[in-house]
Amino acid sequence: MNICIPKERRESDFRVALTPAGVKLLVQAGHTCYIEHEAGVGSGFTDYDYQQAGGKIAYRGEEVFGRADLLIKVSRPTVEEFEWLREGSMIAGFLHLASASPLKIKTLIEREITAIGWEIIQEDNGKLPVLQPISQVAGRMIPQIAATLAQNNSGGKGILLGGVPGVPPAEVVILGAGTVGTAAARTFIGMGANVYVLDQDLDRLQNLDRLLSGRVITMVSHDFNLEKVCRFADVLVGAVLVPGKRTPILITRQMIESMRPRSIVMDISIDQGGCVETSRPTTHYNPTFVEADVIHYCVPNMTGVLGRTATHALNNATWPFIKMLAELGLEQALEISAALRRGIYTRNGELAHPVLQNAMSSRS
């Protein structure tokens, strides 16, 4: 099997889909791996590292896409990259097709592509094994970004998240008690902030309360509670996820307008459409905008600037599925892995994911 790893072309994405160690294992198993020139530089891997592992270096993106039986990415392909997809090939990555342009989905169908979304691979117990480690990276990254945004030189209120004796700490509100929300809550607490976590799942809130020994204030995410916390939050984090679906809007413009001036909104759900009505995607080079006198941070590929850590975390999680696809082929891999079956958006050009089927039906 030709297994190909392109360079990530989205702005400020320094991750790479496979490390030299992964390439070495695939080559030893008899597969051919093509890696685009300098694909691993942002994660600390040179072309020489990949060549030493047995990989072949390709110098054009079109070549990498054109040779692939299985194309392994991190982020969803760009418009240009969708045009490079080889007919009948497989692509795996964080595709987030629920929020993608219908034209991109149409390309997958027309070219009979099998599209595997790392973010929707799901085990029987509901766990998302590939998304989880990246979500942990994102959750632990959120407080350090929030701390910087709260400074005057970033346009913030000029507050220290943890306060000091005689000066109260910041009020931090997190929507969602999943992996991102839990990791963020733990880190915010470690910095000394007052932390509130809202979720509609009471079991999740009870588990979070036990995990953090009661140091976090938990609330059910009813509308009236959302309205209440918006009025006092210094930092509001949207960490809502509905696997495979577009994120529902939980925070309305009116709620944003009720926030205090120069408060901070971090919509981490933006890669699935966002959970805040006033959100729109931003970039690492221009990460914030101000709406209703509230600072908005909405970078979809937030962990892209932690190339080394995020790449290793991702590879630890994706390797079992990459190995399965390479050793068994698509059909047998899907037969034995229910988790992988749940990760299929399109199969040989046919819509395979119920959410995607419904979305395309509603758009037609």
How would DSSP label each residue in 126-146? S--TTHHHHHHHHHHHHHHHH
Amino acid identity of 314? L
pTM of the model: 0.92
- Of the candidates 96, 199, 234, 296, the residue annotated as catalytic is 96
Give the model's confidence band at 336: pLDDT under 50 very low, under 70 low, under 90 confident, else very high: very high
Question: Is 209 among the catalytic positions?
Answer: no
- Looking at the structure, tell me whether residues 39 and 116 fall in a common domain: yes
Please identify, among 287, 305, 323, the residue that sits at the C-terminal boundary of a domain.
Answer: 305
- Of the candidates 199, 267, 271, 296, the residue annotated as catalytic is 271
- Please write the tens of the pLDDT for every residue from 192-250: 999 999 999 999 999 999 999 999 999 999 999 999 999 999 999 999 988 878 899 99
Q: What range defines the domain where residue 281 resides?
A: 131-305
d(CA 210, CA 311): 31
DSSP labels, 212-276: TTT-SEEEE--HHHHHHHHHH-SEEEE----TTSPPP--B-HHHHHTSPTT-EEEEGGGGGT-SB
Q: Region 282-289: what's the mean pLDDT?
A: 96
- Looking at the structure, tell me whether residues 165 and 197 fall in a common domain: yes
- Please write the tens of the pLDDT for every residue from 92-150: 999 988 877 888 889 999 999 999 999 999 999 999 999 999 999 999 999 999 999 99
- Residues with Cβ within 8 Å of 77's Cβ and at least 6 positions away in sequence, in order, are 84, 85, 91, 93, 104
Record the tokens describing residue 336, joined without a space: 């034995």
Report yes or no on 126 lying in a domain.
no
Q: CB–CB of 27/53 below 8 Å? A: yes
- Looking at the structure, tell me whether residues 298 and 170 fall in a common domain: yes
Question: Is 199 among the catalytic positions?
Answer: no
- Looking at the structure, tell me whether residues 288 and 341 fall in a common domain: no
- Looking at the structure, tell me whether residues 183 and 69 fall in a common domain: no
CATH number, domain with residue 349? 3.40.50.720
Residue in 322, 241, 346, 222 with CA at minimum distance from that of residue 18: 322
Number of domains in the chain: 2
- Looking at the structure, tell me whether residues 107 and 160 fall in a common domain: no
- Residues with Cβ within 8 Å of 277's Cβ and at least 6 positions away in sequence, in order, are 249, 251, 252, 253, 256
DSSP state of 85: P
